[in-house]
Amino acid sequence: MSLLQTLIEQVKKPTGRMGVWMLRIMNRAHRGMYAWFIRQGAVNDGTCVLDIGCGGGKMLQILASLNPNGMIYGIDISEQAVKESLKLNNNNKRIVVTQASVSKMPYHEQFFDTITAFQTHYFWPSLEQDVKEIGRVLKDGGKLIVMAETYKMKYHMEAFQTPAAMKQLLEHTGFQTVYITEKTSKGWLCMTAIK
């Protein structure tokens, strides 16, 4: 396996020392995007929020600060990511992190008010089916917020590589309203879908 492929695999599912290193790099490298997310005003206080692909846990920390009276959940397929998320958040009692896949989440129907996916949807096993699974655990009227870099969508994804294609997918899988905000100077997208 080439070095590039090894690094991509570590981003998808961090393991071992290299995985710890990648998780910490991602926490730092995404700081600008985290700040842009905060300015979107997308999370309300007192709500139940899930972050899919919580990685090194920085987004969980941000969500907890934006939602001091709510509960924050995170899932990641990587055992290493779960450990790092818990470590970063000092076992905060309002943050629950579980090793799980977006394809089969361990939550009952209509459990979350808001679900975030930060730089992860291009690695999901079956994007259309996984978006349907998100719809299952998201409350009616709830928000799905997907943040991504456009070049990563084009590089990693065989389908749904454009904002228009993502909007069509979200509408096709049951979301009523889809808003797409772009920060073209950075190549960033924020896709907000209301169920």
For the chain, the structural domain boundaries read: 3-194
List strands edge to edge, sheet with 71-76: 95-99, 71-76, 48-52, 112-118, 138-149, 188-194, 177-183
Write down the CATH number for the domain with range 3-194. 3.40.50.150
Residue matched to tokens 């896709």: 191
Least confident segment among 26-40, 72-86, 113-127, 157-171: 26-40
Between 106 and 159, the more confident residue is 106
Q: What would the mean pLDDT of 82-92 be, rounded to a whole number? A: 91
Single pTM value for the model = 0.91
Tens of pLDDT along 175-184?
A: 999 999 999 9
The kind and range of the H/E element at 37 are: helix 31-39
Given a cut of 90, is residue 97 above it in pLDDT?
Answer: yes
